[in-house]
């Protein structure tokens, strides 16, 4: 009486595999906690130092225009036991005064190496082929945290002769890979205290709540609490804090749609908007008014035997032109593509879009925050 379904096991298996695939596939608007938040106190520190680059091929500082280079070299020679007679005018062309900067990563320990960036302070033409002399790098507290030294890598080339010059890329700055050795570690409060604070990259109450929910679902109720739209407080275990943090930073969180925003660069005319921007129904008239004034010389020649004089005058021609400024109706758009098409239909340049967007925002038809940078 009952018919057998011959391929039912295969159907069940296929549905099971599809469900497993859907369960393992994160949603399109999901991100890991490590990508949207950072641990308070775990950050890099800026280091800076002043040093000398030697071994240049006549492209260093001119001491007459950069006297601090000669003073720095004299101080370095005195530390090495070399005395320069007073009043000596050193004409140095193979030495350049530079600023050395570096980023000290979190948890860096003495003996590890970091990259440094070297930039000219004087009028050196090129740092190519130079060597950075031992330079201490200091932090904001004035303490020495690293010591930099090594050969520069300059990604450029140049040549000049007879008043002509050819240059590729920038020659006044370079980099020394692994050129600094860490001498002092920066203490952190990572292993201290009962709580750990996660700081979100952008303030959003929904995201903060979702982060707390994801941590509580993985580590138990009460493990995390959202204090505000940017801060999430996490209760840390007494042992294996590294493993605990490694687990929670890989948890995926569903993100809320971003706030509608239009960013306009007034200097370059760039207009960038996100997918949440919508445009209400409105009508826009756009046109340019141009006035052209041209002057043409006119010579007035007197009649014969009239004892008159030749006079040169000017004839002014004034033209007033107003380009098409017809009233264009923009339909309400619910997608980013609709907004772009509506603005492109006006035929406006990026510079004109700034005034148009401001007027649409003032009229209440632009459903987004307008930010001018």
- pLDDT by residue for the chain (373 residues), tens only, comes to 444 444 433 433 333 434 434 444 444 478 899 999 999 888 899 999 999 999 998 888 887 777 888 888 888 888 888 888 877 777 778 899 999 999 999 999 999 999 999 999 988 888 988 999 999 999 999 999 999 999 999 886 666 666 666 766 778 899 999 999 999 998 887 777 888 899 998 888 999 999 999 999 999 898 999 999 899 999 988 888 889 999 999 999 988 878 888 888 877 777 888 888 887 777 777 665 445 556 577 777 777 777 777 777 766 666 656 565 555 666 676 566 676 677 677 666 777 777 777 888 888 888 888 888 8
pLDDT score of 353:
75
pLDDT at residue 361, rounded to an integer = 84
User: Domains in the chain, ordered, with CATH?
Assistant: 45-155+167-182 (no CATH), 189-254 (3.30.1360), 261-288+325-372 (no CATH)
Other residues' Cβ atoms within 10 Å of the Cβ of residue 269: 13
Give me the half-sphere count of Cα atoms (radius 13 Å) on the Cβ side of residue 99: 7
pTM for this prediction: 0.67
Give me the pLDDT at residue 370, please: 85
Q: How far apart are CA 261 and CA 275, in angstroms?
A: 9
- What is the predicted pLDDT for the residue at 19? 41
């Amino acid at each position: 009486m009952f018919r057998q379904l011959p391929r039912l096991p295969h159907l069940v298996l296929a549905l099971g595999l599809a469900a497993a695939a859907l369960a393992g596939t994160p949603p399109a608007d999901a991100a890991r906690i490590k990508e949207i938040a950072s641990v308070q106190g775990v950050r890099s520190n800026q280091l800076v130092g002043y040093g000398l680059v030697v071994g240049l091929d006549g492209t260093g500082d001119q001491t007459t225009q950069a006297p601090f280079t000669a003073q720095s070299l004299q101080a370095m020679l005195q530390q090495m036991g070399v005395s320069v007679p007073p009043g000596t005018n050193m004409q140095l062309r193979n030495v350049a005064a530079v600023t050395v900067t570096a980023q000290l990563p979190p948890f860096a320990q003495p003996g590890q190496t970091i990259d440094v960036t070297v930039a000219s302070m004087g009028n050196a033409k090129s740092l190519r082929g130079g060597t950075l002399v031992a330079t201490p790098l200091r932090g904001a507290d004035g303490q020495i945290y690293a010591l930099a030294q090594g050969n520069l890598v300059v990604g450029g080339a140049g040549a000049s002769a007879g008043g002509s010059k050819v240059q590729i890329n920038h020659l006044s700055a370079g980099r020394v890979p692994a050129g600094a050795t860490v001498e002092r570690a920066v203490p952190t409060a990572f292993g201290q205290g009962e709580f750990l604070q996660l700081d979100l990259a952008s303030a959003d109450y929904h995201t903060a709540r979702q982060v707390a929910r994801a941590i509580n679902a993985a580590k138990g109720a009460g493990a995390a609490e959202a204090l505000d739209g940017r801060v999430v407080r996490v209760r840390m275990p007494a042992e294996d804090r590294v493993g605990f943090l490694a687990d929670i930073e890989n948890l995926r969180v569903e993100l809320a749609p971003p706030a509608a925003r239009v960013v306009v660069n007034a200097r370059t005319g760039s207009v960038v908007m996100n997918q949440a921007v919508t445009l209400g129904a409105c009508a826009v008239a756009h046109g340019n008014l141009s006035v052209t004034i041209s002057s043409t010389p006119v010579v007035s020649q007197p009649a014969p035997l009239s004892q008159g004089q030749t006079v040169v005058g000017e004839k002014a021609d004034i033209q007033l032109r107003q380009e098409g400024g017809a009233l264009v109706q923009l339909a309400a758009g619910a997608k980013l593509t609709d907004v772009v098409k509506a603005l492109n239909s006006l035929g406006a340049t990026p510079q004109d879009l700034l005034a148009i967007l401001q007027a649409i925002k003032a009229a209440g038809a632009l459903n987004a925050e307008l930010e001018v940078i």
